[in-house]
Amino acid sequence: ERNALSGRISDAGGGGLASANVVVRNLATGERYAARTDGDGNFNFEKLPSGRYRVTIEAAGFSSVSREISLTGREGEKLEIA
């Protein structure tokens, strides 16, 4: 089953973090997917297989942040990271 994952990355003041690297890695297979946030800090992945993932965000001047999520075939997952 395929899943969509979208979200927004923001700084401490709530502003969108542009050009941040977002890497989504399947914990079972090691398969990696990468994207870059747009000017408002938004990112989007389409058609990810169901499973557990580690989402890692990296941006110049900020500490990297990682979260583990499960994609289970629901309509679409949203992830907000500040």
Strands 77-81 and 51-58: what pairing?
A: unpaired
- For the whole model, what pTM was predicted? 0.89
For residue 75, the model assigns a pLDDT of: 64
Six-digit token pair at 54? 């580690």
Q: pLDDT below 70 — which residues of the chain?
A: 75, 82
For residue 2, the model assigns a pLDDT of: 85
What is d(CA 7, CA 59) in angstroms, rounded to the nearest whole number?
15
What is d(CA 73, CA 3) in angstroms, rounded to the nearest whole number?
5
